[in-house]
Amino acid sequence: MILPESFYTRKDVVKIARELLGKVLVTGFDGVHTAGIIVETEAYAGVSDKASHAHGGRRTGRTEVMYMPGGAAYVYLCYGIHHLFNVVTNLRDTPHAILIRAIEPIEGIAAMMERRGKEKLQPSLTAGPGAMSQAMGISTQHTGVLLRGKEIYIEDRGIKIKPKDIVAATRVGVAYAQDDALRPYRFYIKDNKWVSKGKGL
DNA sequence: CAAACGATTTTCT
DNA sequence: GAAAATCGTTTGG
């Protein structure tokens, strides 16, 4: 079943980030269907989180989407090359978001490899936020799209992740956020080969 | 209006 | 292991 809006509008972004593990991200652009199990996420707790683009209540053209009610996609360009896909959570005007860092491909794998220009099926196909977005065909033009339409949605296929298989860790690439970089806001499935390595794991 | 920078990935040494 | 690639957003003049 497709996750209802009420799944995203809850107030505990960290809890939602944990619950997204095992859910299935599906995209259908131009008739090409691709899907993958979410195996790694990172929570960004808006205003009080220095690592978030919206920390301190910053509100700009780019971050405007994060102020929407939960259930929308926030996609932005990083390093001029990579499209990072986030899920907006919480209520309107509370800019919380969850970065989807990695998925385990289950459908449309051939299409993903073609998008990534790869010959063989290997973890680097979807391990890492930029790589995952490219494999799924997601780009900045999809920012603001609701995750309940035909282009992008997340569904629950009854996959259950045991609590002991969920690992909490510090986030990747946010050293500039100082003390907030130490928050255990990154979650991933233990021993899953599709989880990205990050930089300093 | 100009300049610096980043929630990363790939490639070369 | 180190460095380059590359551009929209943000910040400063």
pLDDT in tens, A111-166: 999 999 999 999 999 999 999 999 999 999 999 999 999 999 999 999 999 999 99
Mean residue pLDDT of chain A comes to 95
Domain span including residue A142: 5-189
Query: Does A194 map to a domain?
Result: no
Query: Does A182 map to a domain?
Result: yes
Bases of chain B with protein Cβ within 7 A: 6-10
Please state the rounded mean pLDDT for residues A16-39: 97
Query: Does A72 map to a domain?
Result: yes
CB-CB contact of A135 with A107 (8 Å): no
Query: Does A198 map to a domain?
Result: no
Bases of chain C with protein Cβ within 7 A: 5-11
Q: In a 10 Å sphere around its CB, with 0-12 CB exposed, 13-18 middle and 19+ buried, how is residue A29 labelled?
A: middle
Domain count, chain A: 1
User: ∠A198-A151-A59 over CA atoms, to 5°?
Assistant: 60
Residue owning tokens 């979410």: A38
CB-CB contact of A71 with A152 (8 Å): no
Tell me the CA distances in angstroms from A122 to A104, A149, A195, one per residue in order: 10, 29, 12
Nearest-CA residue to the C1' of B6?
Answer: A79
What's the pTM?
0.95
Q: How far is the CA of A138 from the C1' of C12 (A)?
A: 33
Query: Does A196 map to a domain?
Result: no
pLDDT tens, residue by residue, A29-47? 999 999 999 999 999 999 9
Query: Does A199 map to a domain?
Result: no
Q: What is the CATH number of the domain that holds A85?
A: 3.10.300.10
Query: Does A80 map to a domain?
Result: yes
What beta strand segments (E) does chain A contain? 24-29, 32-44, 73-78, 82-89, 96-107, 152-155, 166-169, 186-189
Query: Does A195 map to a domain?
Result: no
